[in-house]
């Protein structure tokens, strides 16, 4: 890709104040296109692919988080009511389905870690 970048730079148009004596529009565009093609073909080997992963607990259930469970177990009724009041709007707007495949997800939605 660096070769095509160097060639594109060599053939690129100059400015009005500093024209490029090597300017060749066709060669410039061809090398820019080669740079783009090379980058697209190299991308899978250079960049990691983002895949969808579904996390779930035992038997496809919720993941148990010990610290949160202990904190909630030790909360007063007043604190629990306040927490419920704060979280209810968030939970009702969230679409959480642990362990359930969704065909609209990218990658392999049935893969669980």
Whether 75 shows a pLDDT value over 50: the answer reads yes
| CB atoms closer than 10 angstroms to residue 31 | 21
- On whether residue 58 sits in a domain, the answer given is no
Same domain, 7 and 35: yes
* Contacts with 101 (C-beta within 8 Å, 6 or more apart), sequence order: 54, 109, 110
In a domain, 54, yes or no: no
Give the number of domains in the chain: 2
The answer to whether residue 52 sits within a structural domain is no
Q: Which two tokens stand for residue 109?
A: 């939605």
| Spatial distance between the Cα atoms of 71 and 104, rounded to a whole number of angstroms | 36
Q: Is the pLDDT of residue 31 over 50?
A: yes
pLDDT of residue 8 exceeding 70: yes
In tens, the pLDDT along 46-70 reads: 877 776 677 777 787 777 788 888 8
Is residue 57 in some structural domain? Answer: no
Is the same domain home to 42 and 72? no
Task: Tell me the average pLDDT across 59-88.
Answer: 86
Residue 24 is assigned to a structural domain of this protein: yes
14 to 22, 36, 68: CA distances (angstroms):
9, 21, 63
pLDDT at residue 102, as a whole number:
47
DSSP label of 50: P
CB half-sphere exposure, 33, CA atoms < 13 A: 6
Q: Classify residue 7: in a domain, yes or no.
A: yes
Say if residues 1 and 39 touch (Cβ distance below 8 Å): yes
Q: Is the dihedral of CA 42, 46, 50, 56 positive or negative?
A: positive
- Tell whether 40 and 6 lie within a shared domain: yes
**Tokens at 86, concatenated:** 């704060």
Q: Is residue 111 part of a domain?
A: no
pTM, whole model, 2 decimals? Answer: 0.42
Range of the domain at 34: 2-46
Note the pLDDT of residue 108.
47
């Amino acid at each position: 890709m660096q070769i095509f970048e160097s060639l594109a730079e060599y053939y690129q148009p100059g400015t009005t104040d500093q024209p490029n004596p090597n300017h060749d529009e066709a060669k410039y565009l061809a090398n820019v296109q080669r740079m783009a093609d090379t980058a697209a073909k190299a991308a899978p080997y250079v960049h990691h692919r983002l895949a969808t992963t579904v996390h779930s607990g035992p038997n496809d259930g919720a993941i148990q988080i010990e610290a949160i469970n202990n904190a909630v177990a030790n909360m007063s009724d007043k604190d629990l009511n306040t927490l419920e009041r704060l979280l209810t709007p968030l939970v009702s707007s969230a679409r959480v389905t642990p362990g359930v495949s969704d065909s609209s997800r990218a990658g392999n939605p049935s893969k669980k870690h």
